[in-house]
Amino acid sequence: MYRGLAWTLILVCGGVLLGISRVAAQSCGSTDTTIVNPNNQLVRTLSITDYVNDDLADAQQGLCAVELSFVHQFVENLEVTLTSPSGQMVQLIGPNSNDQFDFTLFTQWRISFVPCSETAEPDDLFSPRWDNEQAQNWLSGGLYTGSYYPYQGCLEDFNFGAVNGTWTLTVNNNPSNNPGAITAFRLVFCDSRGVDCCFAEGGRLPNADLQACLGADTLNISTSSRFPAGPPDTMEYAYTYLLAQNDRITEYDSTGHFDLRSAPAGIYDICGLSYHRSQRDSLPATTSAASLQDLRANLASVSPRFCGDLSDNCQRIIIVAPPDTTFLDRQICAGDSVQLGAISYRESGRYWMTFPTLAGCDSVVQLDLAVLPSPQTLLTDTICAGDSLFFANQYQRSSGTYRDTLPTVDLGCDSIVTLELEVLEPILTSISPVICAGTDLVVGDSLLREPGDYVVPLRSRAGCDSLVRVNLRVLDPEVSISGQDTLDCVRTQSTLRRVSQQSGLGGSLRWTDANGSLLGTEEEIVVSRGGWYFLELSRSLDGTECRAVDSFFVLDLRRGVVADAGPPQTIDCRNRELVLGGDSSTGSDLVYTWSAQTPVQLDGPTDRPQLTVDEAGLYQLIVSDTLSRCAD
């Protein structure tokens, strides 16, 4: 099983591998992600240094495990070989299989290879020794974590030469049309003196930063780290959470629960911490006023005080003390108002308003309001557009609120006359909108979706009537595809054509494949590969564009067929009968036909991969595939 590597998540999208990795390389392994492209070979090297016992031939030294993490869309094409600094090689994974259907999409392997002298613990139903051609197939979307013997050789074969030096991992992905990636690997030597490998993984906290008022219930915090690339080995590494107040570490808790409801105002940070179990006593003590920033800098230094890793992010909590009450004294004339928050106050009295702050603390404002009497008159009126109303010494023609102030010295406050005037504007007399089929147009209280001419009356007030004449146009493009849906060795191309019942209406065409690549803009295209094809018809009218899309799948049955009649042979007194036939293709859909190009009698069956003959001559074998109509 794996002993401490931090894993990398690889997503497969449309044949492209997207890696999310935590880059780390040490003198025993690496978690750098390297893409393995189709029909290519990848060579990764690892510089091993500082091992005290540098002799692989020493009885106490050797390679005790190889930990390997990878993904591949078709793992039976993958071959992986490890080479020591002295040139010794062991093939871990192989061989490259010619199986065409056992895809391993979204599958991850986090496996280890162990010496042949130890007991391998393979995943369920799989053989202890790795073999791409074994009967059990790897499944798409699976996660495999077993231990295996190498495909060829044993780890014990690394038995001479130096430990320190360049170790080489050769990944052969040729031939293969499918990509993969090596996401992590580590070499575990039996005598590890001199090297301290640290693969602690702090993960990432899901909680967002928080600002809260003193004593708020939201300060009762629980968190749990996430490990997108997988957690470290719990046999080697422990995990805890730390709380820092104003950068000083004050508490550790392995559950991730911190109740700060009784904590004083200040700045707090909650971080995750992964560390080697053997170094628990090296963690900063909460009584030493240790700094969180100093701990982060130390763990990132060349020589940290212990093997550990803080989470990629920490949750910051800012606790804010509530502000003091604000007191306001105001005097206004009758009819005026004081705005406090979203409320306007117009009557004498004492009012309180609570304003929430960003941190959730309530800010209280006390208003003592005295309203001085002031006569007010409110007028409301409605006129049609183009009319006017004389008010405040001028003609008013626009909607709004108008005021005219009349001095009243004896009362102390002016007498105010307020006019609320509404001018009813006319509505457009005609419109000619365009919509796509299946959508609606709302005009007044009417919902329109069918093409045609409509007259929609609008509500009239104050004698101002309005009508809307609507000439509604509806775009309804339709498109479909016809063509041959199967390719074989005889029919190697298919012509895909647009089929439409709306000829003469115009529009633009776009043929694309499953990757979105543009294939053409005409009425038809010729394709020679299988897959999904799409035709989009776009029509525009007065700035409105509507689209219709159809799809078509072409199945490609073609495959290679090999006919091998075997090498030339000789009939003599010792060999009176010969069996012809070599390494021909096999399968339930194949037909074999033997014939002689010289006048001889064929006595045996002529519809099998091999033919027994007892006469000299020139014989021919034809292998035909009834499904793909391919032959050789």
Domain spans in the chain, listed from the N-terminal domain onward: 9-189, 210-320, 326-372, 376-424, 430-475, 480-556, 561-632
List of the chain residues with pLDDT < 50:
1-25, 411
User: pLDDT per residue over 432-449, tens digit each?
Assistant: 898 888 888 888 778 888
How far is 546 from 473, CA to CA, in rounded Å?
12
The model's pTM: 0.42
Quick one: pLDDT at residue 539?
Answer: 85
Quick one: pLDDT at residue 412?
Answer: 60
CATH number at 9-189:
2.60.120.260
CATH number at 210-320:
2.60.40
Amino acid letter, 436: C
Domain 480-556 in this protein, CATH class: mainly beta
Quick one: pLDDT at residue 459?
Answer: 65
How far is 614 from 572, CA to CA, in rounded Å?
10
Q: Can you list the positions of beta strands (E) in 198-342?
A: 210-213, 220-222, 237-245, 248-253, 257-259, 266-276, 308-310, 315-320, 326-333, 338-340
Q: How far is CA 599 from the centre of its chain?
A: 68
Task: Assign 3-class secondary structure to 437-477.
Answer: CCCCEEECCEEECCCEEEEEEEEEECCEEEEEEEEEEEECC
Q: Are 472 and 448 in contact (CB under 8 A)?
A: yes
How far is 56 from 66, CA to CA, in rounded Å?
15
Q: Number of C-alpha atoms within 13 angstroms, CB side, residue 203?
A: 24
- Backbone φ/ψ region at 546: left (φ over 0), alpha (ψ -120 to 50), beta: beta
Are both 210-320 and 480-556 of the same fold?
yes
